Amino acid sequence: MTANEAPVIEIRDLHKSYGQLEVLKGVSLSAHRGEVISLIGSSGSGKSTLLRCCNLLEDSQQGEVLFKGEAVRWRGHGLGRHPADRAQVIRIRTNLSMVFQQFNLWAHMTILQNVMEAPVTVLRRDRHEVEEAARGYLAKVGIGDKCDAYPAQLSGGQQQRAAIARALCMEPTALLFDEPTSALDPELEQEVVKVIKALAEEGRTMLIVTHDMRLAADVSDHVVFLHRGLIEEEGAPDTLFGNPRTERLRQFLSATA
Ligand code: ADP
Ligand code: MG
């Protein structure tokens, strides 16, 4: 990280409501290149909404999100309808690639096709080069032998690793994970955790929403505790987990222990 480089993701005073419900009440945080930030907090505290605002799955009412200094925003006439907006949406979603709790693989495509689909059809990259890269990423996450299988033929842990390979195949600047292990049985959770740890060791920029405090403690440079739409406490994992300052964080940690 160079001193003057703009953060990969910068969130400034973000406010987001659904109707009368104010979900984010002024959240600011930034992720520099190579940084891993974990977002923790109770269900309903706004973690998913925050991630979704970063890559334009949601708009916000106030504040801003910047990708490498570029303001990420809907421009008032509907997401992606205007060609300039659509180009930005593609650029942002490509660069901030998301992995969801429920994998979201396409059931009618093989694993290899799932990984190749967006780079070929959205980014219009060369099919042969994408295939080679896709096979490489599937091998990297330990399922190189599953290229021709369909999602339903894979375990949950294998499906989530395929979803991670799919995100990697976009060659993103950063990865956004929304509870990547929450839908998995404990024994399958670890194979996904292992992949995420390996990505952290490679120095990838990642924003990880997780209920797995051990994962957050192991991989993060910085942990953010969200409570009812506000950052209640944040800091280095050792400090945050070892010496929580606020009663709310203490309660949250004892409830999840
Ligand atoms: P978390 O991921 O921390 O569990 P969410 O960001 O999913 O929290 O949700 C925060 C709050 O916003 C919750 O009260 C949830 O019910 C509400 N919410 C989330 N998405 C929507 C939506 N599309 N429409 C209305 N309310 C929503
Ligand atoms: Mg969520």
User: What pLDDT digit, counting tens, does each position of 189-247 carry?
Assistant: 999 999 999 999 999 999 999 999 999 999 999 999 999 999 999 999 999 999 999 99
Q: How confident is residue 75, by pLDDT bands cut at 50, 70 and 90? A: low
The partner residues of 68 in beta bridges, in order of sequence, read none
8 Å CB contact between 219 and 200: yes
The sign one gets for the Cα dihedral 181, 152, 168, 43 is negative
Ligand 1 centre distance from Cα of residue 63 (Å): 19
* Structure confidence by residue, pLDDT tens digits, 42-73: 999 999 999 999 988 888 889 999 999 988 87
Please give the C-alpha separations between residue 25 and each of 11, 229, 251, in angstroms, as whole numbers. Answer: 12, 5, 21
> 201 alpha carbon to ligand 1 midpoint, in Å?
31
Looking at residues 108-121, what average pLDDT do you find? 97
Q: 229 CA distance to ligand 1 centroid (A)?
A: 10
Residue 150 has a pLDDT of 98
Give the pLDDT of residue 88: 85
Q: Diameter of the chain by CA atoms?
A: 55
Closest approach atom of ligand 1 to CA 45: 3
Residue 41, pLDDT score: 97
Q: Rounded to the nearest whole angstrom, what is the distance from the C-alpha of residue 179 to the centroid of ligand 2?
A: 7
**Cα–Cα distance between 72 and 79 in angstroms, integer?**
12
Estimate to the nearest angstrom the gap between the alpha carbon of 212 and the chain centroid: 15
Q: Take atom 26 of ligand 1 and give the residue whose Cα is closest.
A: 18
Average pLDDT of the residues in 7-21 = 95
**Tell me, what's the pLDDT at 86?**
79
CA distance 109 to 91: 24
Question: Per-residue pLDDT averaged across 119-148, rounded?
Answer: 97
Q: Mean pLDDT throughout 173-183?
A: 96
pLDDT of 139 over the 80 cut = yes
197 and 205 Cβ atoms separated by less than 8 Å: no
The question of ipTM being above 0.85 is answered as yes
pLDDT > 90? residue 257: no
Pocket test for ligand 1, best of 21, 61, 208, 225 (most atoms within 8 A of CB): 21
Average pLDDT, the chain: 93
CA of 153 to the centre of ligand 1 (A): 31
Q: Are 165 and 138 in contact (CB under 8 A)?
A: yes
Backbone phi and psi for residue 69, each to the nearest 5 degrees, phi listed first: 85, -10
Q: What's the CA-to-centroid distance between 145 and ligand 2, angstroms?
A: 32
User: Which ligand sits closest to the CA of 42?
Assistant: 1
Q: Per-residue pLDDT for 116 more than 60?
A: yes
Position 87 pLDDT exceeds 60 = yes
Q: Is the dihedral of CA 132, 138, 142, 144 positive or negative?
A: negative
Closest to 162 measured CA to CA, from 170, 173, 154:
154
Closest ligand relative to 178 C-alpha: 2
Question: CA–CA distance from 208 to each of 20, 42, 155, 190 (Å)?
Answer: 28, 15, 22, 16
Per-residue confidence (pLDDT) for residue 4, from 0 to 100: 77
Average pLDDT over residues 82-86: 69
Test site for ligand 1: of 11, 16, 18, most ligand atoms within 8 A of the Cβ: 18
Measured from the Cα of 226, ligand 1's closest atom is 3
Among the listed residues 226, 232, 187, the one whose alpha carbon sits nearest the alpha carbon of residue 210: 226
The pLDDT value recorded for residue 114 is: 98
The pLDDT, as a whole number, for residue 198 is 95
